[in-house]
Amino acid sequence: MDVATLLEQTAERLRGVTDTPDLDAQVLLAHLMGKARTWLAAHPETPLSDPQRDAVEEAVSKLTAGTPLPYILGHWEFFGLDFKITPDVLIPRPETELLVEQAILWLQSRPKTANSALRAADVGTGSGCIAVSLAKQIDELRVLATDLSLPALEVARQNAIHHGVASRVDFVQCDLLPPHPFPLPTESNFDVICANLPYIPTETLEHLPIFGREPTLALNGGSDGLDPIRRLLRIAPEWLAPNGLILLEIEAGQGMAAVSLAYDAFDHATINLRRDLTGKERLVAIRL
C-alpha cells in the first residue's frame, strides 16, 4: 500500500469522527513517518512498511474511540510554537492566542527600567503555552506559572526547557496564586496577570463530547462556569502592579457576568470585553 492509498482510506474512516478528516489523516501519517505533510504530497507513490501501516491502524482506532489527535501525536502548535501535550493538560486552542497577543502588546508598552524586569503571571498554566509564548516573545520578562496539577506543571516545565525560557519561568503548584508575598524572582507585583481558567459550567460540561477526554480539572468552572474567575478576582488586587492588566479568557456568553464580577473586585478600573475573530466574547481585560 502506498501513501496516497492509505491517506484516502484513513480520511474515509475519519469522516464523521473528526471535523477535518483529510487534514487529520495527513497530519497523522506525516507524524508516524517522521515527514512533513508537504513530503507526503510530493511522494504519493511511496510504499509503506507493515509497521507503518500497523501504527496508522492503532492511531486511527484511538481516534475513532474518542482520543483527541493532539494526545496521539504528543504535541500541538500554539502561537507558532510546538508544545508537548499529554492527557494531563488541556489541548491549546487558537482562541487563547488572543489573550497572548493582548498580553504582549501590553507588556511592550510598559516603561522599561534598568533595575526592574517585566513580570507576568500565568494562572492555571496547564501545558505552559501562555507562559512560554510570553517569555519567548519578550526577552526581559519573568513569568510565574501556577497550576494545581503537578503532572501539568511537569509538562509546562519541559515545554519551557524545549523553548529555552526555563530560566525565566518559575513553576509553582498552588490554587490560583501562592500565599503573598512569595519568595521567588517574581515576588513583586505583576505587570500582567493572565488566566485561562476552567470556565465550562459543571452541568454543561457533563454533556459535551470533550467530557472525559481532556482533564476535568482544567474544564470544570463550577455551577455557573465562573467560580475560578470569581476566586481569582478576590485575590488579584494584591498581586497587580500599579497600572497593571488582568486578562481572563471566558466562555462565549459569559461576558456580562464576568465583567460584573470584575467591577465588584475593582472600584477604579477600565474594564473591556473583547471578542475573538469569530465575534464571540472571549476575553475580559481589566486595566488599573
* pLDDT of amino acid 19: 87
pTM of the model: 0.91
Q: Look at residue 72 and tell me if it is in a domain.
A: no
Task: Please give the single-letter amino acid code of residue 57.
Answer: E
Check whether residue 59 and residue 181 sit in a common domain.
no
- For cell 477526554, what's the residue? 213
Tens digits of per-residue pLDDT, 49-74?
Answer: 999 999 999 999 999 999 999 999 99
Question: Chain centroid to CA 246: how far?
Answer: 17
Average pLDDT on 125-153 reads 97
Q: Look at residue 14 and tell me if it is in a domain.
A: yes
* pLDDT of amino acid 181: 61
Check whether residue 61 and residue 81 sit in a common domain.
no
Check whether residue 46 and residue 164 sit in a common domain.
no
Which of the four pLDDT bands, split at 50, 70 and 90, describes residue 116? confident
Backbone angles phi, psi at 142, to 5 degrees: -110, 140
Check whether residue 56 and residue 190 sit in a common domain.
no
Check whether residue 279 and residue 172 sit in a common domain.
yes
Tens digits of per-residue pLDDT, 240-283?
Answer: 998 899 999 999 889 999 999 999 998 889 999 999 988 999 99
Check whether residue 83 and residue 213 sit in a common domain.
yes
Contact (CB, 8 A) for 63 and 71: no
Judged by DSSP in three states, 76 sits in strand
Q: Look at residue 57 and tell me if it is in a domain.
A: yes
Is residue 111 predicted with pLDDT exceeding 80?
no
Residue ranges of alpha helices (H) inside the chain are 3-14, 21-33, 37-42, 50-64, 69-73, 97-109, 129-137, 150-162, 202-205, 227-235, 255-265
Check whether residue 38 and residue 106 sit in a common domain.
no
Show Cβ contacts of residue 233 under 8 Å, excluding neighbours closer than 6 positions: 246, 261, 262, 264, 265
- CATH number of the domain to which 18 belongs: 1.10.8.10
Beta-bridge mates of residue 171: 145
Q: What sign for the dihedral angle of Cα 125, 130, 136, 138?
A: negative
Q: Look at residue 158 and tell me if it is in a domain.
A: yes
Query: Residue 98's domain spans which residues?
Result: 77-287
Which of the four pLDDT bands, split at 50, 70 and 90, describes residue 180? low
What are the C-alpha distances in Å from 160 to residues 6, 81, 115, 149, 264?
A: 36, 11, 24, 17, 35
Q: Look at residue 142 and tell me if it is in a domain.
A: yes
Q: Look at residue 84 and tell me if it is in a domain.
A: yes
Check whether residue 88 and residue 187 sit in a common domain.
yes
- CATH number of the domain to which 230 belongs: 3.40.50.150
* pLDDT of amino acid 113: 65
Contact (CB, 8 A) for 102 and 284: no
End residue of a domain, out of 28, 45, 66:
66
- Count of structural domains, the chain: 2
Backbone angles phi, psi at 145, to 5 degrees: -115, 120
Check whether residue 150 and residue 223 sit in a common domain.
yes
Judged by DSSP in three states, 5 sits in helix
- What percent of the chain shows pLDDT beyond 90? 84
Check whether residue 190 and residue 260 sit in a common domain.
yes
Check whether residue 178 and residue 197 sit in a common domain.
yes
Q: Look at residue 169 and tell me if it is in a domain.
A: yes
End residue of a domain, out of 66, 85, 101:
66
Residue 212 DSSP one-character state: T
Is residue 187 predicted with pLDDT exceeding 60?
no
Check whether residue 123 and residue 225 sit in a common domain.
yes
Q: Look at residue 54 and tell me if it is in a domain.
A: yes
